[in-house]
């Protein structure tokens, strides 16, 4: 239901990065984004497509509605190299994207 792209991405500190999540049906804005670092549980970044979770740096932003959603990191920091997941909650069962692994170039 949710297709993330790219599946992996190499970038440098300071780069602007965009990750997309495409749904096969209208999800309205019922989409969240999470970050997962190795050995850790996922961490909420963005909820309802564009709302920044409290305590998350403002370099993270989300946009989109319907079938196409975007997570943008405006200026990559060393701690941002991780795997990112989108998650829809428009229909049950809740589902996650397959993940985008962001690596250091």
Residues near another protein, by CB under 8 A: 29-30, 32, 34, 40-44, 47-48, 51, 53, 85, 87, 89, 92-99
Closer residue to another protein in complex, CB, 60/76: 60
Residue 9 CB neighbours (<10 A)? 17
As a whole number of angstroms, the distance between CA 80 and CA 13 comes to 9
CB of 38 to another protein, least distance (A): 12
CB of 81 to another protein, least distance (A): 19
Rg of the chain over Cα atoms, rounded to whole angstroms, equals 13
3-class DSSP assignment, residue 78: helix
CB of 4 to another protein, least distance (A): 10
CB 6 within 8 A of CB 71: no
Closer residue to another protein in complex, CB, 32/61: 32
As a whole number of angstroms, the distance between CA 29 and CA 32 comes to 9
3-class DSSP assignment, residue 23: strand
Closer residue to another protein in complex, CB, 15/90: 90
Closer residue to another protein in complex, CB, 75/98: 98
CB of 48 to another protein, least distance (A): 4
């Amino acid at each position: 239901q949710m297709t993330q792209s790219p599946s992996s991405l190499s970038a440098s500190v300071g780069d602007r990065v965009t990750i997309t999540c495409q749904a096969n049906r209208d999800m309205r804005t019922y989409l969240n984004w999470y970050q997962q670092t190795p050995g850790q549980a996922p961490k909420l970044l963005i909820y309802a497509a564009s709302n920044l979770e409290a305590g998350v740096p403002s370099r993270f932003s989300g946009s989109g509605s319907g079938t196409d959603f975007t997570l943008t990191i405006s200026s990559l920091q060393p701690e941002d190299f991780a795997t990112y997941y989108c998650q829809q909650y428009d229909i049950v069962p809740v589902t996650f994207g397959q993940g985008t692994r962001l690596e250091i170039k």
